[in-house]
Each structure stands twice: as C-alpha cells, then as structure tokens.
Chains A and B, each alone.
Chain A
Amino acid sequence: MTGLPRYPGYDVTAKRDTPSWDDVTRTVIDERLATPHEPHFFDVVEWQALCALCACIVPQDRERPVVPVAALVDARLANNLGDGYRDARLPPMRDAWRIGLRALDAESRSRHELPFSSIAEEARHALLTDMQEGGLDGPEWRGMPGAVFFAKRVLHDICGMYYAHPHAWSEIGFGGPANPRGYVRMVANRRDPWEAAEARPGREDQAYKENRRVR
C-alpha cells in the first residue's frame, strides 16, 4: 500500500440486483437512500448548526456523491432510535442534541458574534477541538459536559450514520451487503469479481475498468 487506497469507479449500489443483495436489504437501503433531505426533528436554527457540524466531522469533497449525513442523523432522532445505554453524565439522546447544538451556537456567538454555521472553517475547528478537550462549559450547556457530548453523541451519531451510507462504503472499498452470495476468495490480495478493485499507482484506469464491471 502506497498512499491512501483508492477504488475509482466502484459503486457498491451497482450490486443491488445481484445475488449479493436480498429483498430485505434492498428495502432497507432504498429507504435510507430516500431519507428526506430536510429536517423533521431539528428546528431551522439547530439544523444549520448540525449541517455545519457534520461538514467538520465528516468533510466531503466534490469528487464523490454527497452523503446527506445531517438528514440521516435527523431521521434517527425523529425515530428516537436509541443505543440501549446512556452515559449517566448525559440527558436522553434528543435532549442532549438540542442542548448541545444550542450551546455550540452560543459559544460561537460569544467568541465571534455569529452562529456556528456562519463562522470560518478554522474557527469551527478551534471550537470543536475545545469542546473535545473539555474547554467549553458555558451556562447554555446546562451542566452537560461538552467533551462527553462530543465523544458519545457528536462522533457516535454523525460518524455512525455517515458510514451507514453506501457512498461511504464505496469510498473505502467495503463489499457492502453480501447475502446470499457471500465471498469465496478469503486470502490476502485476492478479490472476488464482485469486490472493489484497488488502484495500483499509475494504473488507475485498470481499476476503474474492473470496478465498472463489479456486479
């Protein structure tokens, strides 16, 4: 491996109608891809903060199709699908998110006189780094430790939903759904024809061609 692995042209959803996907999986992924892009749980102010937060936590370039991660997080909260455990220092999931996003905006206003979504990228990163390191504890947090919110909710929920999206699977070369076909070639450096081909330096075209044939 030299540099970061790349899988040009690989799209895990191209396997949708192959023996790697079954009916229940098609239904589940179709539903996820059809998640509405506007918020149902958050209000407009919270939504803007969330979108800006997601752009920092899982930055997306323009080369790949966009993962609507804020919408996926919103949908999760709208359905109130919990984890089955909660750090005692945090309130329930929905309350934690509302308090956390408003507190983030408040911290941003006190530093820059602007909400989080309106400040420059560097300033956003500085704020989030302070949150992660426990440096934010204004009254808007209502006693909720910002560092715990960051670790247990921000990272957990945003990253968990990002990597639940097929575009993210394509990006990292994950095989994705695999029932009933599964896999045959188990040893190192071997791929089944329905797995992503990694680009060799200088031979991206060949990987692209193979990835377009992945079925």
Chain B
Amino acid sequence: MSADDPHDAQLVPRGKNGRAPDVFRPAAWIPMREYPQDEAVDFAIVGTGAGGGTLACRLAEKGFKVVAFDAGAWWRPLEEFASDETHQGKLFWTDERICDGENPLHLGNNNSGKAVGGSTVHFAMVSLRFRPEWFRSRSLLGYGADWPLDWREMWRYYGEVEEALKIAGPVNYPWGPKRPRYPYRAHELNASALVLARGCEALGIDWSPTPLATVSAPRGDAHPCVYRGFCVSGCATNAKQSALLTWIPRAVRAGAEVRDLAMVGRIAMGHDGRASGVEYMREGRWQFQRARNVVVAGYAIETPRLLLMSATERFPDGLANSSGLVGKNLMVQLNQAVWGTMDEEIRWYKGPPSLSLTEHWNYEDKGKDFFGGYCYMSQGPLPVAWVSTQNGRGLWGQRLQDEMRKYNHQAGLKIVGEAMPQERNRVTLADEKDRYGLPVARVTYSLCDNDKRLVRHSLDFMSLALEAAGARDVWRETDDTCHLNGTARMGDDPATSVVNADCRSWDIDNLWICDGSVFPTVGGVNPSLTIQAIAMRTADRIETLAARGDL
C-alpha cells in the first residue's frame, strides 16, 4: 500500500511529507508546505470544494497560513478517473445519511461529493449568475429572505470567478444586466442542445449556449473538452475547471497545506468561548490542529452536522446556533423534467450534458402562479442514470427494456428550480453512528405548495416546448431534486441568521462558514458560481478585517 498506487488514494493520504499529487501529470508530485499541529495556523478550513477550496486559495495568496481538510481522496484524474458511471461512485459521499420527510431526498451521486475539490469534481459545470433581484427577494419580489450582499458587488466577483475558471460561454448572454464576454468561446452544441433551441424558438423565448466550467481550448496543462460525456462521473480529460484543478493547485503553490482523507469530527472550543482548532481523523487516529480561525465549508449537510456535533456545555445546541437556525432552511433545487422520443438519432451521451439552456422563467415574472424562478437545460444522462429515471416512473420488466432501447432517440428538458426556504426542512443528528463513531445526519425534506406550483408550471411549459421541437410520447419526471443549500443562512440580524455578510458567525467571532450553507434563498440557477463568488469576497473581507485588527 502506498500513496503512489492509484488504487490506494482512498486508503493512504497523499498530501503528506512535503508533497501533494500533481493533478496534471500521472504519478507526479508538487511540493507542499506543511504546518505543525501544535502551532496555531491562521485558518483551518474544513472542506475543499467550491467554498473551502476557493477560500483556501485566496487566503493563502494573501499570505495567511492555511491548512485545509477534506474527508475525501486526492485524485489524479488523468490516470484514475474511469469512463464508467458505477466505478466513479468513488467520487461521492457514500457514508450513510438518513432521509425522511414527505419528499425524502436522494443524496450521494445526486449532489454530494467526497474528494479534494468536493462536489466540483463531479458537477455538471453549469456556471450561472444569480438574477440581481434575488439578493433582495423579500423586499423586491415578496418571498424568501433578503441577502446582506449587494448584487453589484457580487457581479464583480462573478466576473472574477468566470475569469479564474475560464468559463466557456456565448458572446451575448440574453438575460440580466450586461456582463463581460466569457473568457473562452462557447462549446459546440450537440443534438440534445439543439432540441432545446428548437423548442424555445417555436415558443418565442430566448435560449443560449450554457456557460460552462470546462475549457473549449487548451489552458496551461489542461486539455480542452473532448465531448466524452462522462462529466458528472468526473472528467478524465482535465478540461473541467473543478476546484481540484484550479483553486487547489493555486492554494498549494501559495503555501497552503491540504490534508486529504482527513475527516473533521469536532471544532474545539477554548475557555474564552472562541474556537481553538479542529479534531480530525486521519490515518486511523484522532489528531488536533490548532488554529486562530476555523472555517466550516462542508456543504449544506456536513456543515450543520459538524456545528451540531461540536456542542459544548456553553453551546449546548451546537456552535453558532443562538438563533436556533443551524441545520434549518435546507434548500434543494427542484429538478423535474420532461422526456420524449425524437425521430432523429440524438445520442445525448456525447458532450457535456447541459450544453444549452433558457433562463426565460427566471427573468419573466408575468404569467406565474408561484414565487421564484427556474431555468431549464438540455440533458444527456448515461445509461445507469437513465434507467434510474425510468425506474422513477415505476417501469420494470419488458416495458423497461423497451424504453431503454430508445436511448439514442431520447431528448429531455430539466429544470433547476427555486425551492422556498422552510424551517421544517432541516439537518439533524440521528442516533445511528458512522464508521468514525460520529452521529449520522438525518435529512428531512418536504416540498411546499409554492414548490409544487413552480413544478407544475415548468412541466406544462416544457411539455409544450419539447413537443414543439418534435418529440413524441412526452412524459413527466415529477420528483427529482438537486443541489443543497441553506442550513446556516447569512443575514443582517443575529436573531434570524447564523453568519453575517462576511460569512462570520454571529456567536463566535473566529468561526466562519463559507459554502452553500449560507444561502438565504437559492434562486433558479446552479449554485457553484455563487458559492465561489462569495468565497472570493470573504477572502477580501478577511484581508480588510485583518488589516484593521478586527480578526
């Protein structure tokens, strides 16, 4: 067993002994700085995905001493990512979680990564900006909660993230305020994307090539996309601009240390009521890293779980939880779809799964009987994902086999829809324990009437669009969800939020939360670009606060 053997990435830590894996070269390494555990680093960051990875990079580049922890493995995609949906289950958080409520969620491969780089290693790369009004949805649109952030400031950070990831997108984007041109040219559209375009044109609404975080031309050591189609099973080409390939190597170069296969189980608290470091399991034993600041960036389930598990006598309901809101207001995004059969051979397995989209119903408020918005995108599920969708409508036996035979003639339209924040949707701790002896997360979810109205509206509209594009036998997938947000919302008032606009917890001034957990609302677009923009802003704010002695 050694860190050099690809099969052992999940058994033997690779970020050790002054080196880290070179994600761009087989079997190669890059040097990495290491910090002693008993000297306090400036920041211990729990999680290395869109939130933690971005923040680790930016803080290290500003000269802070950073150690980032991830429970998952540190992969080299070129030699370790197979073209196989099943095998690539190794990228997902497959430790047990218990799901209940009226609409028990599907986690794992649906929305939960476990790897250095987090869920960005398997995300679909869709990189969209929020509609500006969503940052003040309560005041301007009458639902949800206002963010403590100004959209114009976010607009600037969105631009910085798009540049950092070399987003490939169209010259003109049809919706929202003017934005700069995307750094890389849009990808060629596949047949599936052109079905969406045809439907939109028939119904008289705009559509666009999807801005994607996969490069359409060479970038440094990263090869351009080869339209292999296994994006959500991990990119073996290195075209995908995941945190694993972008923020993490930059962070290491800037002096951050990243510890893989390191499961943080507790934030330690000092007698002064401030965080003193993190307890983590690595190489079979619990260890302790001292830190002046702790950042939790474990995404919307692991973040509240860690805060709740770290309860002390002084903080009996968990850390940063004087509002009682830690774990509450969990928000998925609605992910329903319409599917149909085309006369043409579509072969949607070629190319990124969602090459085209429309944000029409994010920006159009007339004609809606619900709050919030949705975009919808073209689709390209591979066989295991597709049979799961067919199972979802109860098919088995010969009927299932016959449906599956139409695989190369299928097309579909799928929403990313705005779910409303509800306190009853939440993450709590179950009695059951995981392999570390830590309580398993219980995830409770129920759709509200507004969610159901949004779904109905979207399915009605997309059915028309898909039929207008020439599809037959159109049917509706009514129960899917995606993404995870909320559970530690940001706000202006300590009574109704967990962190402030800087992602700093109200209760403990050296405890920060920087991931999708801080979203007060989710909007109708994929969250990764917004999480990264918030992390970039947080790094800038920390620099400012440090400069004036406010850390």
Contacts and interface: CB of A to CB of B under 8 A. Distances in A.
Interface of A: 1, 4-6, 20-25, 27-29, 32, 56-59, 81-89, 92, 125, 128, 132, 151, 155-156, 159-164, 168-169, 171-191, 195-196, 198
A172 B6 CA distance: 32
Interface string B324-338: 000000000000000
B394 interface: yes
B190 A58 contact: no
Nearest to B341: A1
A25 B398 contact: no
Contact of A163 (B237, B383, B397): B383
Interface stretch (B33-41, B363-371, B401-409, B507-515): B401-409
A22 B80 CA distance: 10
B413 to A, nearest CB: 16
B180 to A, nearest CB: 27
B384 A182 contact: no
A155 B390 CA distance: 10
A185 B194 CA distance: 14
Contact of A25 (B83, B226, B347, B383): B83
B409 A23 contact: no
Given A6-B405, A83-B108, 4 more contacts: A162-B387, A183-B351, A187-B194, A195-B347
B406 A5 contact: yes
A24 B6 contact: yes
Contacts of B109: 83-84
Interface string B345-365: 111011100000000000000
A180 B236 contact: yes
B188 A186 contact: yes
Q: Which of B80, B94, B194 has the most CB of A within 10 A?
A: B94
B269 interface: no
Given A1-B409, A182-B227, A186-B190, A164 B351 contact: no
Q: Which of A24, A84, A85, A179 has the most CB of B within 10 A?
A: A85
Given A186-B188, A186-B350, A24 B396 contact: no
A159 B107 CA distance: 18
A24 B97 CA distance: 30
B82 A28 contact: yes
A159 B391 contact: yes
B406 A4 contact: yes
A190 B228 CA distance: 16
Contact of B96 (A4, A84, A190): A84
A186 B190 CA distance: 5
A63 B230 CA distance: 29
A101 to B, nearest CB: 16
Interface stretch (B98-106, B247-255, B456-464): B98-106
B184 interface: no
A22 B190 contact: no
Contacts of B106: 83, 85
A159 B400 contact: yes
B83 A176 contact: yes
Contacts of A6: 405
B383 A151 contact: no
Given A5-B406, A5-B408, A58-B401, A92 B96 contact: yes
A173 B407 contact: yes
Interface stretch (B85-93, B286-294, B415-423, B537-545): B85-93
Given A156-B388, A159-B396, A178-B83, A169 B345 contact: no
B445 to A, nearest CB: 11
B343 A28 contact: no
A155 B396 CA distance: 7
B550 interface: no
B384 A164 contact: yes
A180 B26 CA distance: 14
The 10 closest A-B pairs by CB, nearest first: A182-B226, A84-B108, A177-B83, A88-B100, A85-B107, A188-B191, A188-B344, A84-B94, A155-B391, A164-B86
Q: Which of B226, B391, B400 has the most CB of A within 10 A?
A: B391
A183 B228 contact: yes
B189 interface: yes
Nearest to B107: A85
Q: Which of B83, B346, B383, B442 has the most CB of A within 10 A?
A: B83
30 contacts: A1-B342, A4-B405, A5-B405, A5-B407, A22-B83, A24-B6, A24-B81, A24-B82, A28-B87, A57-B396, A58-B397, A58-B400, A83-B94, A84-B97, A84-B107, A85-B98, A85-B108, A88-B99, A88-B442, A156-B391, A159-B396, A160-B387, A169-B383, A177-B83, A183-B227, A186-B188, A186-B191, A187-B194, A188-B194, A191-B345
Given A162-B387, A164-B85, A172-B408, A24 B80 contact: yes
B379 interface: no
A25 B106 CA distance: 27
A32 B349 CA distance: 22
Nearest to A172: B407
Q: Which of A56, A83, A190 has the most CB of B within 10 A?
A: A83
Interface in B101-152: 104-109, 112
